[in-house]
Structure 1
């Protein structure tokens, strides 16, 4: 048979239980709560942190500088490569033919220049001969005119002399034109060297371009890194500038943390930071603030937000901050681009900050 306590008895029992609680616990409890809030305030005033952070590394899109068919692929996906290592090769046969053609054209231009110089000398001789003939024809016409005045020759002799002079003058003009044409093939300067001729310089440039293209059939790694995903196979045709494979550099590696704009009041370059990578629990990396972006991430987007139009809602923006790793141990875990990270920046030491920054912080 169950005995139920009356309300008065229950109240008395509750009061007795309260009296049994030690008095020091009633004092320590509120003090502990106050201490926790005070500690949180002090810590938050000395540092800022964010989990919107990721490991970053340089990415190089390997492309070709010449068009051609791939003859060899020497690296696979996720393979580590070193600076100067051969990645793939373009078939050099068409480029060798192009180089031979350019060299033949260069030799032909040199031969044509020699022929042009000989033509200039020949035209100069023709001009001198035609001028001599013209001078003789003028003297002959003058002599025949004097004899006609003394009635010693017929009019026909004077006409023949005038006709000979006209032919000599026309021959001289033709020789001068031929000389000018021959000089134009040498750039208008018969005394110029072969290297000064425009046609020769053009042919030389084409030869050098063909030689450079032939040197670019072998594509090498520009930095130490790891090859990303690619499906390049021998036999594929690549055009100039076409990306063949990605390469992620292994050094340098840095952290990009996207802090709220409200966290940047006391942040400056050079402050110390602590990095925690999600992939390696319990491991800490030391870093320092290397640079702070001049604009928020949305400003660099393809279609930045137009806050002056439509219904506007204020959203706290995030500013990218670059942190460089310092004192990395030799046996530290490998950091790969894209890994998630937690970043804590110590902003307590801002005594060396410029006066405007301290004023803004206050």
Structure 2
């Protein structure tokens, strides 16, 4: 038999060997399978899932949505019995009215004190006028006494009148000082009254907020998840009632670190959605994770061990969907996708600039 002739088994073995080599070359992206397109199946649709919880406690009186229902921003989802919070608001408003009345009374007292000061000043003027008259009378009587015209009794009466006039002036001056101190006391107490009004206003605002919290509304347009709250259920702050999933979605693709060289923000991306019969959507790279995924793990791997095997780490790449694709409205967080990036493509200027 000629050496050029091979048995079927040898031919199969050669083909299998060549296929194995080609498979290795393909897996490692070596020539002739080297390409600028990087693909990963470790990619998922992401979105904001907002879990709604009450900030006040009470019994649920109404649940106005069902599972997976579309909702709009501000739409009422759940109502909590608000009778207690309504009464607390009324109580706070009454307290505010009382504090404002006390402050208004303080202003009235100030006006009265200012009038008292004016009255005291008038009394001083009157007493000083009487003192002047008494002094003149005393001077006149004393001269007459010296000349022997007037009696000692007249002199004593004029002296008493003068002393009384001096005392009246001192009394009027003291009354003026008392009026001024009363005014100062009113002004000083004004600060505490104004602070009490501010505190009462804050109490009213807090009561209004608590009353508003008894009505739970949708924070954004989207769809409701599973509604876990029921009518008659007693809820407390922090209780998970339901989730609202807004319509904004994007993709997080976890590429190996060996695939990142050449990727840039703004480069176009091809996205295949498993749930939509592998239909393709277009997008672009929006940003790169600041660290490998292992750095965000709750329990980080410890590589300082005796037996070490190098493993290529994965880095998250955030990908935004291009506008004008109706299919994106049907995407929901958690769906699996396959992402392909051609590193030889040029970044889109608007996407690179964040537009």
Scaled to the shorter chain, the TM-score interval is 0.7 to 0.9
Aligned residue for 1:88, secondary structure, equals strand
- Is the 1:61–1:243 Cα contact (8 Å) retained in structure 2? yes
SS for the counterpart of 1:348 is coil
- Name the residue aligned to 1:181: 185
187 and 266 in structure 1: CA distance in 2 versus 1, 3 angstrom threshold: same
Residues 274-285 of structure 1 aligned to structure 2 (within 5 Å):
274-285=270-281
The secondary structure found in structure 1 opposite 2:31 is helix
2:120 to 100, 120, 130: 130
User: Does the 8 Å contact 2:267/2:347 carry over to 1?
Assistant: no
Q: 1:139 to 1:219 in 2, by over 3 A?
A: same
> Structure 1 CA distance, aligned partners of 2:302 and 2:3?
66
Question: 1:70–1:237: 8 Å Cα contact kept in structure 2?
Answer: yes
Distance, in Å, in 1 between the alignment partners of 2:21 and 2:312 is: 30
Deviation at 1:217, TM superposition (A): 3.0
Which of residues 265, 268, 277 in structure 2 aligns to 1:269?
A: 265
Question: Which range is displaced more, 28-37 or 322-331?
Answer: 28-37
**Pairwise mapping of residues 86-165 of structure 1 onto structure 2 (< 5 A)?**
86-138=76-128, 140=130, 147=138, 150=142, 152-153=155-156, 160-165=164-169
For residues 19 and 209 of structure 1, the distance between their equivalents in structure 2, rounded to whole angstroms, comes to 92
Cα deviation for residue 241 of structure 1 reads 5.9
Cα distance in 2 for residues equivalent to 1:74 and 1:96: 21
- 2 CA distance for matches of 1:217 and 1:29? 71
RMSD: 4.3
TM-score using structure 1 length: 0.71
Deviation larger for 149-158 or 225-234: 149-158
Match of 2:250 in 1: 254
Question: What residue is the counterpart of 2:149 in the other structure?
Answer: none
Match of 1:223 among 214, 220, 224: 220
SS at match of 1:289: strand
Q: Tell me, yes or no, if the aligned pair for 1:285 and 1:328 is still in contact at 8 Å.
A: no
Aligned equivalent of 1:344: 340
How far residue 345 of structure 1 moved from its aligned partner, in angstroms, is: 1.4
* Count of residues in Structure 1 that have an aligned counterpart in Structure 2: 328
Q: Does the Cα contact within 8 Å between 1:275 and 1:343 map onto a contact in 2?
A: yes
Aligned-residue offset at 1:210: 3.5
Per the normalisation by structure 2, the TM-score is: 0.72
